[in-house]
Homo-oligomer: A and B are copies of this chain.
Amino acid sequence: MSATQRPLRADAERNRRRLLEAAQTLFRERGLDVGVAEIADAAGVGRGTLFRNFASKEDLIAAIVAERMRAAVQSGEALLHAGDPTDALFRFIAEMVGRQQLDRALFEALDDSWLTRKDIRAGHAEIVGVLDRLLTRAQATGEVRQDVGAMDLLIMLKGTCAAATSYAHIDPEIIDRQLDLIRAGITANPAARPLRGRSPTLQELEQKLPADGAVQRR
């Protein structure tokens, strides 16, 4: 069932890597709308080779985004064993925003139409997973309010990332303030009114996410 069984021929493997690296740097420098022709040229292959390795430009982008997601999950897992759980949680959040600022072109891709892809959805679920464990640890200390969930946090985080894209280059301090405001919002406080409704669990979210192969709008 898996898509990656038999290893590629040596030159094909090398071409694939070159394409990924060329695309990565070009996307980072100039955004997602660099042409496939230019990417193929930068990688030193023909356009046809690009489409042999990645069925579409979107697939190429998704491959890179998935890589980034795995990296984020790993650093989240490392923080699970940090001394101060609450500090670890906020370090993870700050780090995610930092990654986004570096690779803004890549995270541009993370809106709901991308969540229809199962590779992206897998990465998404993993991120919610670590975030949930980091959050639960922080809540156990009593420093973080109990009625907030991983999905609430992820959304605030995505929001800050979106904002970072628009304003960080104008005033970098604004991101620190945004992180402080998130912290203020989720810090335990007996005087605070409870949040309406409740945060969806990872399982509920998975069920509600658009099915793979759902019609892309267009």
A residues contacting B by CB (< 8 A) are 30-31, 33, 110-112, 115, 148, 151-152, 155-156, 158-160, 162-163, 165-167, 169-171, 173-174, 176-178, 180-187, 189, 191-193, 195-200, 204-205, 208-209, 217-218
Are B196 and A177 in contact, with the CB atoms below 8 A?
A: yes
Are B186 and A189 in contact, with the CB atoms below 8 A?
A: no
Q: How far is the CA of A178 from the CA of B218 in the complex (A)?
A: 29
Which residue of A31, A110, A185 has the most chain B CB atoms within 10 A of its CB atom?
A185
Copies of the chain in the assembly: 2
Q: Is the interface of A mostly helix, strand, loop or mixed?
A: helix
Q: How far is the CA of A160 from the CA of B198 in the complex (A)?
A: 17
Are B187 and A192 in contact, with the CB atoms below 8 A?
A: yes
Are B33 and A218 in contact, with the CB atoms below 8 A?
A: yes
Are A166 and B158 in contact, with the CB atoms below 8 A?
A: yes
Q: How far is the CA of A23 from the CA of B180 in the complex (A)?
A: 40
* Given A152-B174, A176-B197, A182-B185, 12 additional A-B pairs, CB 8 A: A152-B177, A155-B174, A158-B163, A159-B160, A159-B178, A162-B162, A173-B198, A174-B200, A176-B195, A177-B196, A181-B195, A189-B189
